[in-house]
Structure 1
Amino acid sequence: MASPTASPHLPLASASARSSSFPKRSLRSSCLPPRRGPSLRAGSVKEWREFEDEAGAVKEWREFEDAVRRKDLSRALRFLQSVEPAAAAAAGTAATQVVAVPVPPGRNWEVLDACIDADDMRLVGRAYQFLVDRGVLANFGKCKNIVLEGPREVTPSVLKEMTGLEAEKLAPKKWGLSGSSPYVLIGFLGGVSFLLTQGIDLRPKLGAVLALATTDAIFLGGTCLAQISSFWPPYKRRILVHEAGHLLTAYLMGCPIRGVILDPFVALRMGIQGQAGTQFWDEKMEKELADGHLSSTAFDRYSMILFAGIAAEALVYGEAEGGENDENLFRSLCLLLNPPPSVAQMANRARWSVMQSYNLLKWHKKAHRAVVKALEDGHSLSVVIRRIEETIASDR
């Protein structure tokens, strides 16, 4: 990177008039004191060069801003690595021609905002590792060894003792089988029957609505229904609480987070059907799956993150409603273990995972609230991660 230098054509000080076409007496009047040109103040050359250096740094950082705006993670990360003082020192003889651009406070965090469109999750992992090496993400992965701690056999009674909640409070609600859904369904059918007795036939309209709902569920994964439901503030707030649980747990477990999707249609475009979603990556688990072997440690860590949304809802509201897709994904992952666990073993691992996630979020309750608030305010991923670090640091 070329070091900006002062241009010889820029005036460092004003020069006095020099024109031979005027007589000398026209330059000076006997009635006025002699005019003196401005003197060159000591240090002005140094200050001007410092100004040029700062202006050059601003120009250089525009490249980084453009990369983040275009969600070009590779270019943004490459720029950050190029402006490191260590990069210039490693250049050896070329170090005299490479000048590290000063990193403005907080700017390197913004590289996380470019992760959302990254196709290569390894690149996302490198972005997090870059910030970890710079001492920015002090709490990233600090709880990853939690999978080696605590009891492995978690019965419903142990779960209640450790969390204070019954097992059914830490499970997603299934329509028609739990909660108030049977009463809602009975009330709905009763209302339709009453309208029919009054001569108001809603069956054609209800048929059209059910057909649209079925189409949405089959082809769009419930995206339209999720979009309509998201306009209801309590439902939207619960989604934020749920996703904040996934995000914070993944961060503390050391799994790079690609982004949080809260818009159902954006989620559909990214392959998350009908709901919001938090995309994270576990390098160790990916390698093990590629080798055809999934270790218990990697599986436990991944399961904790899966059940963190359910745990977050239970922590805030006293019970969970969402998370059925998380539970289904957990079951599908269980089949990859060798040998696959029995139904009883699967239930035990699910209780262990949700218990660990619940307690982890309980220990970091302030950080979880900070994530919810940041997501609610529409902040980007870099700001959300920064709120986590600031909250944990101030809570010590």
Structure 2
Amino acid sequence: MASLYFPIVGACMSQSYPKRTLIKAAAASSSAPPNVDLTPLDSAIAQKDSDAVKEALDQLREAGWAKQWASQPNISRRTTFLRELTTLGIKNAENLAIPSVRNDDWGFFVPYLIGSISLVVLAVGSTNPGLLQAAIGGFSTFFPDYQDRIARHEAAHFLVAYLLGLPILGYSLDIGKENVNLTDKRLEKVIYSGQLDAKELDRLAVVAMAGLAAEGLKYDKVVGQSVDLFTLQRFINRSKPTITKDQQQNLTRWAVLLAASLLKTNTTRHEALMAAMSNKATVLECIEAIEKAA
């Protein structure tokens, strides 16, 4: 199940958006208070301008509306043990981070969370789009609840990214095209250059593991983790300083734990977002669903 998407080519050129006063009459269809204008945010999303999206959300937060946006800015990696995932409610935590498919291009994987780690080197943009097609083709046959799984998985990426202050520009729940688009031009540059620092790596790791964590909290078997793990490995490989295998293992555990904790704390928001995404809501409508959920 494809999940986290950082487009590397074809990114939109940045637009220059002046500072705006957000205390205006809102559109009648909006759930925002009547003195809050969401038009700048809507326009920024339509332009796929991540800087403008962040600026609009920051101003909305200052205006007292986008209270959940970037509400979890201070995260700090720590040593994490497998039993903590079980205590939190993750089912079958020992099997959580085993990619769900085998492909000759990638070889066999061993668990990320326990034992030694055998990792492949992923270059930016090198993931084969056809990698998971065999699994995707039979997905709905083996997992009749696949629509709920996909919505739960992708909504987790969306919500956790929003809470951590990463702007969302789009998403898809279509089989074989599942993704949450987190285009960020600044992050693209540091990923390209292989210069992700520890703080950014931690933040991206938590977002990458959010879908896996959401499935692990609900189901005995997680099936959407493969591309999430490939995505995490890509970020690890583009970070400086290089981290050891033991550190990679701990990063994965910690990221799953923190993502799961955020999802449990924000269960109502996660469920509201799942419903909105399942109904093909716009990104703005999804953000509204997060903000108005109790």
* TM-score (ref. length: structure 2): 0.71
2:167 is aligned, of 253, 256, 259, to 256
Check the 8 A contact 2:197/2:241 in 1, yes or no: no
Alpha-carbon distance, 1:321 to partner: 1.2
Which residue number corresponds to residue 132 of structure 1?
61
C-alpha distance in structure 2 between counterparts of 1:363 and 1:85, whole Å: 29
Check the 8 A contact 1:367/1:387 in 2, yes or no: yes
The one-letter code matched in structure 1 to 2:222 is A
* Unaligned segments of structure 1, at least 5 residues: 1-72, 87-100, 178-216, 265-273
C-alpha distance in structure 2 between counterparts of 1:359 and 1:329, whole Å: 21
Check the 8 A contact 1:170/1:354 in 2, yes or no: no
Check the 8 A contact 2:213/2:256 in 1, yes or no: yes
Q: Which has the higher helix share?
A: 1
Residues 28-177 of structure 1 mapped to structure 2, 5 A cutoff: 81=20, 84=21, 102-104=25-27, 106=30, 108-109=37-38, 111-114=40-43, 118-145=47-74, 147-148=75-76, 152-163=78-89, 165-171=91-97, 173-175=99-101
Name the SS of the counterpart of 1:257 in structure 2.
coil
Q: Deviation per CA, 1:41-60, whole angstroms, max 9, x where unpaired?
A: xxxxxxxxxxxxxxxxxxxx
Residues 231-310 of structure 1 mapped to structure 2, 5 A cutoff: 234-263=145-174, 274-281=176-183, 285-286=187-188, 288-289=190-191, 293-310=195-212
Q: Deviation per CA, 1:111-134, whole angstroms, max 9, x where unpaired?
A: 555555535432332332343333
State which drifts further: 377-386 or 167-176.
Answer: 167-176
C-alpha distance in structure 2 between counterparts of 1:173 and 1:278, whole Å: 19
Name the SS of the counterpart of 1:148 in structure 2.
coil
The alpha-carbon distance between structure 1 residues 238 and 164, as it changes in their structure 2 partners (threshold 3 A), is closer
The one-letter code matched in structure 2 to 1:381 is V
C-alpha distance in structure 2 between counterparts of 1:115 and 1:228, whole Å: 38
The one-letter code matched in structure 1 to 2:202 is D
Check the 8 A contact 2:72/2:163 in 1, yes or no: yes
The one-letter code matched in structure 2 to 1:148 is S
C-alpha distance in structure 2 between counterparts of 1:354 and 1:218, whole Å: 25
The one-letter code matched in structure 1 to 2:76 is L
The one-letter code matched in structure 2 to 1:389 is E
Tell which has more relative contact order, 1 or 2 (C-alpha 8 A, sep 6+): 2
2:261 is aligned, of 349, 359, 370, to 359
The alpha-carbon distance between structure 1 residues 292 and 346, as it changes in their structure 2 partners (threshold 3 A), is closer
* Unaligned segments of structure 2, at least 5 residues: 1-13, 104-126
Alpha-carbon distance, 1:148 to partner: 2.4
The alpha-carbon distance between structure 1 residues 129 and 154, as it changes in their structure 2 partners (threshold 3 A), is same
Which residue number corresponds to residue 15 of structure 1?
none
C-alpha distance in structure 2 between counterparts of 1:328 and 1:168, whole Å: 18
The one-letter code matched in structure 2 to 1:128 is L
Alpha-carbon distance, 1:74 to partner: 5.9
Structure whose alpha-carbon radius of gyration is higher: 1
Which residue number corresponds to residue 371 of structure 1?
273
Q: Does 1:387 align with 2:289?
A: yes
The alpha-carbon distance between structure 1 residues 162 and 111, as it changes in their structure 2 partners (threshold 3 A), is same
Check the 8 A contact 2:70/2:164 in 1, yes or no: yes
Name the SS of the counterpart of 1:125 in structure 2.
helix
- CA root-mean-square deviation: 3.6
The one-letter code matched in structure 2 to 1:141 is A
C-alpha distance in structure 2 between counterparts of 1:228 and 1:113, whole Å: 37
- Identity %, equivalent residues: 26
1:344 is aligned, of 246, 265, 287, to 246
* TM-score (ref. length: structure 1): 0.54
